[in-house]
Chain A
């Protein structure tokens, strides 16, 4: 309970710090994703003529609303990977002088990234409901997968912490793979546009699975959804990442301190 309060306090402090002194303050929470969205929409739907023809006729031309959740998930993932990767050095001034653990600081940092993510997802799904109607099935699936993805990101942050602490090159490497993770995924274009040989390659990116499911819930709620083949692997991977992440971070804590 006390830990939870601490983590919430750390997240609040970070968010407060991020927008302090800015002209529009917390509005940035909404402006940033919207501007990103507009920019990507312009480039991809108007210049590269990307279309979501596989999602049905009513969604076909509405490039932005399909792009949005994927983009938000991508940003959240890169955010937590970066925070975890730099955590051991970045938090050293605190952890070497105060009785506060790196683990709690990372959780606070991840929570500070999750709050804008959930705000963005909520606004987006409100838009989806207005445009295409709300179904209980679809809504449940969207909420569930957003939640599972959040947990997945907590696990990723810890994994990234361990790698970053052991290998200082990790942050540089993240910079390089961030591009790959964006383009080798269904974020900007439908997977079906790729040659068949490359399509499987896209699914090596864990993001792709989450994005497919959230789009399924939002845009094709009536098409049957296989829990066994779609959701279970994602759930399994999430639990695995979380457990391994927490365990390795725990071992790392002992490794560095004793």
Chain B
């Protein structure tokens, strides 16, 4: 969307000169005096309290369907801003306009009565968010299905694991018909499959709704947000597209913690290298991990299926043996088997491996073959595609494999069958270093530059 088109959109959240401060009264007597003064004369006097400003001069305009990320250190006012948008607290100064229904994930599970059952809590929440009675039954059904809690929904919430509480809370928030979604650090929820579901929900929500997203997870932030503001000590220190603002923030936090690591903007003294002497040759020990593969594929989630059905997905060794565990670096086979129901003229097999935040780590499909012509599948036959590749080294966490069969060419294709999170790969890495993927077999040489002063 170009800038002009964005400015045509109606504003969902608009703040003008917005500020929030808290007053701390010097004593009980001061509090009563202040109240009496306020009651009788409609004024307040700073004699009675100390003011601390949490937010000052916030100017914002988030248009419908856009997403705004908010970053900043603890206590910079991020949550306060969200709470004002959610009208949980009211501004001290300035104006704040919010057009649309707000659902907030400020603290998942806040307001749950732990003695009540999951179902009773759903009803309480729906009443609190003023969902009309006519729609309640359908909502309850959708929430139970989304949460995946099944029979547990009739048990008291106190018997839930913390992951289950969060799943229930997220499921409720996702079904409040909100126009504006406020998310505060809540996405590291549940297991891998459920986090994927949340990320998918947020991605889908983005297509029509407005999102305000607070996170310290700069990757997730960049994946979700069109624009980011950086709050520092209650004022907006930077704003703009996600990438540069996140980079600036990262540099700031790093320099606050490790001032020596960050370039200070002046060049090092120039010295001319004259010769190199090798002082060490190293082979870095590859950061292996233990990858556990879920034994049975779960083919229940996704869409499509009328023309083709995925009947099996397996990650196995090149000898075709099922493997429960691998360590990264070895060659494996990922096999996707599909039952084709009607004739398919240019079929495509593909898969995506995502981490628990929904970031696609690697993916491949049969379109990327440049030598052969398109395939052809007959109706009523099973076909299997086997991808052989060297399995990468991954940091600890849960990963999921999504598999699909499509039809078409590089420019235009549609999915015949798409299955989310078919396999779960649980990676336990003993000492993974940095980034999303580990390097295998890395060699390093360290040289000594013999300098001559220029």
Give residues in A with beta carbon < 8 Å to B. Answer: 2, 5-6, 9, 13, 16-17, 20, 93-100, 166-169, 248, 251-252, 255, 257-258
Binary contact readout B82-108 vs A (1 if CB under 8 angstroms, 0 otherwise):
010011111110000000001010110
Of the candidates A13, A95, A98, A167, the one whose C-beta lies within 8 Å of that of B28 is A167
Min CB–CB distance A132 → chain B (angstroms): 43
Q: Closest 8 CB pairs between A and B?
A: A97-B110, A2-B130, A9-B127, A257-B90, A98-B111, A166-B32, A97-B107, A255-B38
Q: Are B38 and A167 in contact (CB under 8 A)?
A: no
Q: Are B92 and A258 in contact (CB under 8 A)?
A: yes
Q: Are B124 and A258 in contact (CB under 8 A)?
A: no
Q: Are A16 and B116 in contact (CB under 8 A)?
A: yes
Q: Are A167 and B128 in contact (CB under 8 A)?
A: no
Complex contacts, A167 vs chain B, CB 8 Å: 28, 31-32
Determine the residue in chain A with the shortest Cβ distance to B28: A167
Given contacts A5-B127, A251-B39, A257-B90, contact A99 B113 (CB under 8 A): no
Of the candidates B31, B86, B115, the one whose C-beta lies within 8 Å of that of A99 is B86
When chains A and B are docked, how far (Å) is the Cα of A6 from the Cα of B130? 8
Within 8 A of A (CB), among B128-175: 128, 130, 133
Complex contacts, B205 vs chain A, CB 8 Å: none
Q: Are B130 and A20 in contact (CB under 8 A)?
A: no
Complex contacts, A100 vs chain B, CB 8 Å: 111, 128
When chains A and B are docked, how far (Å) is the Cα of A168 from the Cα of B104? 32
When chains A and B are docked, how far (Å) is the Cα of A99 from the Cα of B106? 11
Query: Is B432 engaged at the interface, CB distance under 8 Å to the other chain?
Result: no
Interface range, B side: 20 to 34
Of the candidates B87, B110, B127, B133, the one whose C-beta lies within 8 Å of that of A93 is B110
Q: Are A20 and B115 in contact (CB under 8 A)?
A: yes
When chains A and B are docked, how far (Å) is the Cα of A6 from the Cα of B128? 6
When chains A and B are docked, how far (Å) is the Cα of A100 from the Cα of B220? 30
When chains A and B are docked, how far (Å) is the Cα of A168 from the Cα of B25? 13
Q: Are B128 and A168 in contact (CB under 8 A)?
A: no
When chains A and B are docked, how far (Å) is the Cα of A258 from the Cα of B107? 23
Min CB–CB distance B74 → chain A (angstroms): 17
Query: Is B377 engaged at the interface, CB distance under 8 Å to the other chain?
Result: no
When chains A and B are docked, how far (Å) is the Cα of A215 from the Cα of B284? 92
Complex contacts, B87 vs chain A, CB 8 Å: 99
Query: Is B35 engaged at the interface, CB distance under 8 Å to the other chain?
Result: yes
Give 9 A-B contacts (CB < 8 Å), ordered by A residue.
Answer: A6-B128, A6-B130, A98-B88, A99-B87, A166-B28, A166-B35, A248-B39, A257-B89, A258-B90
Min CB–CB distance B340 → chain A (angstroms): 51
Min CB–CB distance B10 → chain A (angstroms): 22
Min CB–CB distance B193 → chain A (angstroms): 27
Q: Are B130 and A96 in contact (CB under 8 A)?
A: no
Q: Are B111 and A94 in contact (CB under 8 A)?
A: yes
Query: Is B387 engaged at the interface, CB distance under 8 Å to the other chain?
Result: no
Complex contacts, A9 vs chain B, CB 8 Å: 123-124, 127-128
Given contacts A258-B90, A258-B92, contact A98 B31 (CB under 8 A): no
Q: Are A252 and B116 in contact (CB under 8 A)?
A: no
Binary contact readout B1-43 vs A (1 if CB under 8 angstroms, 0 otherwise):
0000000000000000000000000001001101100110000
Q: Are B88 and A95 in contact (CB under 8 A)?
A: yes
Complex contacts, B90 vs chain A, CB 8 Å: 257-258
Q: Are A97 and B116 in contact (CB under 8 A)?
A: no
Given contacts A168-B28, A257-B89, contact A98 B110 (CB under 8 A): yes
Complex contacts, B128 vs chain A, CB 8 Å: 6, 9, 98-100
Min CB–CB distance A74 → chain B (angstroms): 28
Min CB–CB distance A98 → chain B (angstroms): 5
When chains A and B are docked, how far (Å) is the Cα of A94 from the Cα of B106? 12
Determine the residue in chain B with the shortest Cβ distance to A3: B130
Q: Are B106 and A6 in contact (CB under 8 A)?
A: no
Of the candidates B31, B34, B88, the one whose C-beta lies within 8 Å of that of A97 is B88
Q: Are B88 and A255 in contact (CB under 8 A)?
A: no
Complex contacts, B38 vs chain A, CB 8 Å: 251, 255
When chains A and B are docked, how far (Å) is the Cα of A7 from the Cα of B83? 23
Q: Are A99 and B110 in contact (CB under 8 A)?
A: no
Determine the residue in chain A with the shortest Cβ distance to B127: A9
Q: Are B124 and A96 in contact (CB under 8 A)?
A: no
Complex contacts, A17 vs chain B, CB 8 Å: 113, 115-116
Complex contacts, B31 vs chain A, CB 8 Å: 166-167
Min CB–CB distance A249 → chain B (angstroms): 12
Min CB–CB distance A178 → chain B (angstroms): 22
Complex contacts, B35 vs chain A, CB 8 Å: 166, 251-252, 255
Binary contact readout B276-291 vs A (1 if CB under 8 angstroms, 0 otherwise):
0000000000000000
Q: Are A6 and B110 in contact (CB under 8 A)?
A: no
Binary contact readout B196-237 vs A (1 if CB under 8 angstroms, 0 otherwise):
000000000000000000000000000000000000000000
Complex contacts, A16 vs chain B, CB 8 Å: 116, 120
Complex contacts, B34 vs chain A, CB 8 Å: 255
Min CB–CB distance A85 → chain B (angstroms): 14
| A13-B116, A96-B88 known, 14 other contacts, Cβ within 8 Å | A5-B127, A6-B127, A96-B83, A96-B89, A98-B111, A100-B128, A166-B32, A248-B39, A251-B39, A252-B35, A255-B35, A255-B38, A255-B39, A258-B91
Complex contacts, B86 vs chain A, CB 8 Å: 99
When chains A and B are docked, how far (Å) is the Cα of A205 from the Cα of B359? 68
When chains A and B are docked, how far (Å) is the Cα of A166 from the Cα of B124? 30
Determine the residue in chain A with the shortest Cβ distance to B113: A13
When chains A and B are docked, how far (Å) is the Cα of A192 from the Cα of B130? 53
Complex contacts, B127 vs chain A, CB 8 Å: 5-6, 9
Complex contacts, A248 vs chain B, CB 8 Å: 39
Complex contacts, B130 vs chain A, CB 8 Å: 2, 5-6
Complex contacts, B120 vs chain A, CB 8 Å: 13, 16
Determine the residue in chain A with the shortest Cβ distance to B125: A98
Complex contacts, B107 vs chain A, CB 8 Å: 97
Complex contacts, A20 vs chain B, CB 8 Å: 115
Given contacts A93-B110, A94-B111, contact A99 B28 (CB under 8 A): no
Complex contacts, A13 vs chain B, CB 8 Å: 113, 116, 120, 124
Min CB–CB distance B107 → chain A (angstroms): 5
When chains A and B are docked, how far (Å) is the Cα of A2 from the Cα of B102? 17
Min CB–CB distance A127 → chain B (angstroms): 34
